[in-house]
Every structure is written in structure tokens, then in C-alpha cells.
Amino acid sequence: MSHSPSDATAPAAEPFNPERTIGQLVADATHDISTIVRGEIALAKAEVTSGAKIAGTGVGLLVGAAFVGLLGLVLFFHFMAWLIAVWLPVWAGYLIVAGLLFVIAAVLGLLGVKSLKKAKPVPTKAIKEAQDTIAVLKSAG
């Protein structure tokens, strides 16, 4: 004996329900919000990393300025010693070299300060996006 589709023992097909349950809607909203939050965090990380790289360049230039300034100071002391010991040509060479090193240190220092002023490690775009998202969620709720 075979079972036909009209048999009473066959399972009844559930009717198609296009409306979703509240649980499904909440699950989807939770998933969407977590995706948005992950995107905001990624944006913030990218902004902070960019600002940190610029700040690192500025710090490197300032360290270079300090090193060259120290070399200039050593040569300046050499100059003073030779100035006392020998009155001419040798000290003139030391003075010129030390002066040149101080000029290089000043240029590196100015470039470093300028670079540090350009660095913006605050994630302003991510903060604005997060505020906009919160505003949209509040207005939708």
C-alpha cells in the first residue's frame, strides 16, 4: 500500500508567512549594529595609526636635531680649547663646522615641530560617524 499525498498521515505543510518574528528582527538589528560598530572601530584605528605615523616622524626629526645639536656642542668645546691654545687658522675651521651643525640642528628641530603640529591622532571622522549612527538609531527608535 502506498501513501498518496492525500493521505491523512502525511505532514501538513506550514503556510508561508512573509512576516518575520520579533526575535528575528531583533537578531538582525543586533547583527547590523555590531557590524556598524566594528566598522567604526576600524575607522578609528586607521585614523589613529595615520596620526601616530606623522607623530613618529616628528619625534624622529626632533631626536635627529638633539643628536646633531650634541655633536655641535662637542665641536664647540673643541673650538674653545683650540681657541685658547692656538690663536688662528685651526679654530676658524672648528667654528665653521660647529656653526654648520647648529644650523642643521635648528632646521631639523623646526621640521620636527612642524610635523608634530600636523599630527592628528584623534579619530575625528570615526567620532562623527559614531555620533551620526547614534542619532539615526535614536530617531528610528
Q: What is the pLDDT of residue 86?
A: 64
The predicted structure's pLDDT at residue 85:
62
pLDDT of residue 81: 64
Q: Can you tell me which residue has the cell 491523512?
A: 8
Q: How far is CA 31 from CA 25, 26, 36, 43, in A?
A: 10, 9, 9, 19
pLDDT for res 107:
92
What is the pLDDT, as a whole number, of residue 84?
A: 61
Is residue 15's pLDDT more than 70? no
Q: Give the span between the Cα atoms of 102 and 120, in whole angstroms.
A: 29
Mean pLDDT of 17-34: 76
- What whole-number distance in Å separates Cα of residue 80 and Cα of residue 19? 91
Higher pLDDT, 97 or 11: 97
User: pLDDT by residue (tens digit) across 40-49?
Assistant: 788 778 777 7
| 15 DSSP 8-state letter | P
Tens-place pLDDT, residues 56-100: 888 888 889 999 988 888 877 776 667 666 666 666 666 776 777
Handedness of CA 102, 107, 108, 112 (dihedral sign): positive
